[in-house]
Amino acid sequence: MYFSVIRNNRFFVIVADGVVETELIELPTEELSDQVAYLLQLAWNEGELWGKETQRKEMDPLGYSKVISEAILRMKSLTHDEINAESEFNEKRIDEYNRQVMVQVLSWKSTENQ
């Protein structure tokens, strides 16, 4: 965090991280030190936001996080009967997938034995 202070009639811009404070620069007027501290803090905040957005885009380039959050909200709003219906539907899909895999394995084994 950047801020301006007056020490011994001198105007400083200070950078602090919560543990340590360091004098960054001495300026000739209070207004100038206030303005420099404000602009440095503004630049820091913009850089932090840019970094977060860049990281989010790198981690989720196709934007699936919105789709996932909408699906979670929809699941939270389901009634007990709707949950049971979805569960049965998913079980049928899993059974169909397993059947298809078994057919593929059996056809692979039969061609291997020939």
Residue 73 maps to a domain: no
* Contact assessment for residue 57 and residue 45, using Cβ atoms and an 8 Å cutoff: no
* Contact assessment for residue 15 and residue 21, using Cβ atoms and an 8 Å cutoff: yes
Q: Where in the sequence is the domain holding 87, given as residue range(s)?
A: 78-113
Tens of pLDDT, residue by residue over 47-76, are 999 999 899 888 888 888 888 899 899 888
Residue 32 maps to a domain: yes
User: CB 44: neighbour CB atoms within 10 A?
Assistant: 13
Tens of pLDDT, residue by residue over 16-46, are 988 999 999 999 999 999 999 999 999 999 9
Does 46 share its domain with 82?
Answer: no
